[in-house]
Amino acid sequence: MTPDLHARHRAVLPDWLALYYDRPLELTHGEGRHVWDADGNRYLDFFGGILTTMTAHALPEVTKAVADQAARIVHSSTLYLNRPMIELAERVAQLSGIPDARVFFTTSGTEANDTALLLATAHRRSGQILAMRNSYHGRSFSAIGITGNRGWSPTSLSPLQTLYVHGGVRTRGPYAHLSDAAFTEACVADLRDMLGQTRGDVAALIAEPIQGVGGFTSPPDGLYARFRDVLAEQGILWISDEVQTGWGRTGEHFWGWQAHADAGPPDLLTFAKGIGNGMSIGGVVARADVMNSLDAHSISTFGGSPVTMAAGLANLSYLLEHDLQGNARRVGGLLIERLRAIAATNPCVREVRGRGLMIGVELVTPGTDTANPEAASAVLESCRAEGLLIGKGGGHSTSVLRVAPPLTLTVAEAEQGAAILERALRNAGDGPPR
Ligand SMILES: Cc1ncc(COP(=O)(O)O)c(C=O)c1O
């Protein structure tokens, strides 16, 4: 990107709109798993614009569906019957696992979670919400009110009363030293204890099965099934935020909640990011009695817009027909093994974690447990210099590398990206003590 464009960005956009890299990148086009910058440099894309380019850049099937629909009608609003919206809703409802499911489309993950909170609080007639520590659910006033991550919480004011629960982070915090079983028991006891302190009318628990912005952290499998049993005793709803974990990215499961499948499906499920492959689609799926609990009209002018729905339908069909969940499991499995092997000899790496094509690499100061955000930034820069784009995240400091390529990733591309990461990590490991 030209310095001029960076200066113009800074002059006219908010200071808090973070940009990656010392010299920010302007991406001009993409194809498959690759993108190009304004200077003509090519990069292997292991972040997909925050896990959003789910299948591939410029996927011909999606591009054609968008062009064809745009040539017919771009907009009609939810006041008119909308065939692509109804078709996508039918498919999402069926895939969700939620019985008698209803679907409402929004334009972002934030708005999807906002809607889920509105539904749960209206249904339960309560403003109390349980959220996980280290969570991120979006940027609106209510979503910030359930975000347990200091770096993404610009205000403590909130329309909700939020209680933060342990369990989303397995290897840090007061229960980290426990076995999986004991960790789960401790979190369940904490949840029970917390519920005992409330008025007894909590509306819902909202949780990301694998925390995205928080650095791809997760509880032991089955934890949310145990939570569900406790919540069910009081009729408290379970909202699974699948904005990052949905559509097979985690390889073993189509939805993140299925790692806790003993619980059965959640009462509400929210989605966004990957389903539109870059077109702005978000949404909430809920049991009909929960979805229909609003007693006033509600519309979305842009939610479910025909062009985005056409993109979603084409993208979802491609995903299912090409078994991209299976590809995420196979190629993601190889990639995570390769990264674990690299980490074994690198003192900067505390942990390699994740599932499928959702892999986190947590960096620390060698010989300590202290988060190392400088090393994470250095690795990001080195990878960029060698033609690889990755992301970063993490709860208390941004010290986790996030690897989340499009789900069509090939073995050769995984190898190529891992080799670049290996060199970048080695440079960070060789650097001066931080
Ligand atoms: C788990 C999760 N929920 C919700 C959101 C908000 O989605 P959006 O940025 O589309 O509003 C995000 C965004 O990163 C997310 O990771």
240 ligand 1 Cβ < 6 A: no
- 3 state DSSP class of 394: coil
Tell me: the pLDDT tens digits for 124-165?
A: 999 999 999 999 999 999 999 999 999 999 999 999 999 999
Confidence of residue 2 (pLDDT cuts 50, 70, 90): low
| 211, 255, 273, best to mutate for ligand 1 pocket (most atoms within 8 Å of CB) | 273
Q: How much is the average pLDDT of 192-206?
A: 93
Give the Å distance between the CA of 373 and the centre of ligand 1: 22
Is residue 433 scored above 50 in pLDDT? no
pLDDT higher than 70, residue 86: yes
Q: Percent of the chain at pLDDT above 70?
A: 98
The answer, yes or no, to whether any atom of ligand 1 lies below 6 A from the CB of 47, is no
Nearest CA to ligand 1 atom 7: 109
Q: Is the pLDDT at 203 greater than 60, yes or no?
A: yes
* Neighbouring residues of 10: CB distance < 8 A, sequence distance ≥ 6: none
Residue 371 DSSP label: B
> Is the pLDDT higher at 397 or at 422?
422
Closest residue by CA, ligand 1 atom 3: 137
Question: Does pLDDT of 3 surpass 80?
Answer: no
CA of 21 to the centre of ligand 1 (A): 21
pLDDT at 198: 87
Q: What are the phi and psi torsion angles at 188 (to 5°)?
A: -65, -40
Query: What tens digit of pLDDT does each residue of 269-327 get?
Result: 999 999 999 999 999 999 999 999 999 999 999 999 999 999 999 999 999 999 999 99
pLDDT at 261: 84
- Report strand pairing: 388-389 vs 282-287: unpaired
Distance CA 323, CA 317 (A): 10
Per-residue pLDDT of 219-251, as tens digits, reads: 999 999 999 999 999 999 999 999 999 999 999
Looking at 133-288, which runs of residues are DSSP E strands? 161-165, 204-207, 237-241, 268-271, 282-287
Residue 368 CA to ligand 1 centre (angstroms): 31
327-368 pLDDT, tens per residue?
Answer: 999 999 999 999 999 999 999 999 999 999 999 999 999 999
For the cut 90, the answer to whether the pLDDT of residue 397 exceeds it is no
The rounded percent of the chain whose pLDDT value lies above 90 is 95
| Distance from residue 283's CA to the centre of ligand 1 (Å) | 11
* Å from CA of 22 to ligand 1 middle: 25
Q: Is the pLDDT of residue 199 over 90?
A: no
Bridge partners (DSSP) of residue 358 are: 355
User: Per residue in 48-68, pLDDT tens?
Assistant: 999 999 999 999 999 999 999
Query: What is the DSSP annotation of 238-264?
Result: EEEE-TTTTTTTTSS-SSGGGGGGGG-
| Cβ of 134 less than 6 Å from ligand 1 | no
What's the gap in Å between 341 CA and the centre of ligand 1? 31
What pLDDT score does 396 carry? 76
pLDDT at 434: 38
> What number does the ligand 1 atom closest to the CA of 110 have?
11
- C-beta of 257 in contact with ligand 1 (< 6 A): no
Q: How confident is the model at residue 428 (pLDDT cuts 50, 70, 90)?
A: confident
The pLDDT value recorded for residue 40 is 98
Contacts of 317 (CB under 8 A, 6+ apart): 61
| 186: pLDDT strictly greater than 80 | yes
**Residue of 380, 31, 356 whose CA lies nearest to 216:** 356
